[in-house]
């Protein structure tokens, strides 16, 4: 009987080990999904973020500073919902040029999107982030096919040698890593995700819903 028990325990241990190995193998292919998940359409009610100001510090900005409302967007240049969101946010920027400031933060999860994020940061170092951002989204189907210097030229960047040197440096990589780390802290699993002051909105909500969220934030600040 003891021998049978020993054999049974050994068999159970082997099965458990196999299950664990299988879980690691399968889970490895899902790491990207667990961290950032698939692109989002819309996802539920907004979530309160108590320490939202720590995520709205120094990063890429659009609009005036200071402002009553801050929108922090975690985005991906290859995400189709992010492209739609970029157009909606442009309308918000046009409508609230003084009341709202915008901070773009990187959460690259698609093929070539990390390099796109690095390229946009190199554009920022030549005071051309806004233009590079707009060109990348306008020509997102060409990302991975068109060279980054071609995007740079389309963005009005003249010093392409400095741009290429920047792409090979570590500073812009640290910026992208910091943005992604902030997304992990916030448990963000998909793009786009936005903080509108202290409320987190997951997914692409469209201009009307974004406008309503901005109006809500303005009322709370006035």
The domain segmentation of the chain, as residue ranges, is: 2-31, 36-221
What's the rounded Cα separation, in Å, for the pair 187 and 160?
37
Is residue 26's pLDDT more than 90?
A: no
Is residue 9's pLDDT more than 50?
A: no
What's the rounded Cα separation, in Å, for the pair 111 and 104?
19
CATH of domain 36-221: 3.40.30.10
What's the rounded Cα separation, in Å, for the pair 10 and 19?
14
User: To the nearest 10°, the Cα dihedral for 130, 77, 105, 128?
Assistant: -20
Max avg pLDDT among 44-48, 132-136, 170-174 = 132-136
Question: 193: which strand partners?
Answer: 74, 202
Give tens-digit pLDDT for 67-96: 899 999 999 999 999 999 999 999 999 999
pLDDT given for residue 108 in this prediction: 96
pTM over 0.95: no
């Amino acid at each position: 009987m003891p021998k049978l028990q020993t054999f049974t325990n050994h068999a159970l241990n082997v099965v458990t080990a196999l299950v664990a190995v299988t879980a690691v193998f399968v889970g490895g292919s899902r790491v990207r999904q667990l961290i950032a998940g698939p692109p989002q359409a819309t996802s539920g009610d907004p979530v309160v973020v108590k320490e939202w100001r720590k995520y709205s510090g120094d990063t890429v900005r659009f609009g005036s500073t200071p402002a009553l409302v801050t929108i922090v967007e975690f985005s991906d240049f290859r995400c189709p919902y992010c492209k739609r969101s970029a157009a909606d946010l442009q309308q918000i920027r046009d409508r609230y040029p003084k009341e709202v400031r915008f901070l773009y933060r990187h959460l690259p999860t698609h093929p070539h999107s990390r390099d796109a994020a690095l390229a946009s940061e190199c554009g920022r170092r030549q005071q051309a982030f806004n233009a590079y951002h707009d060109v990348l989204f306008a020509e997102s189907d060409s990302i991975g096919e068109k060279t980054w210097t071609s995007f740079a030229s389309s963005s009005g960047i003249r010093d392409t040698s400095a741009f290429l040197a920047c792409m090979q440096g570590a500073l812009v990589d640290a910026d992208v890593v910091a943005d992604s780390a902030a997304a992990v802290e916030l448990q963000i699993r998909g793009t786009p995700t936005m903080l509108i002051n202290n409320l987190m909105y997951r997914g692409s909500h469209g201009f009307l819903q974004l406008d309503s969220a901005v109006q809500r934030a303005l009322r709370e600040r006035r």
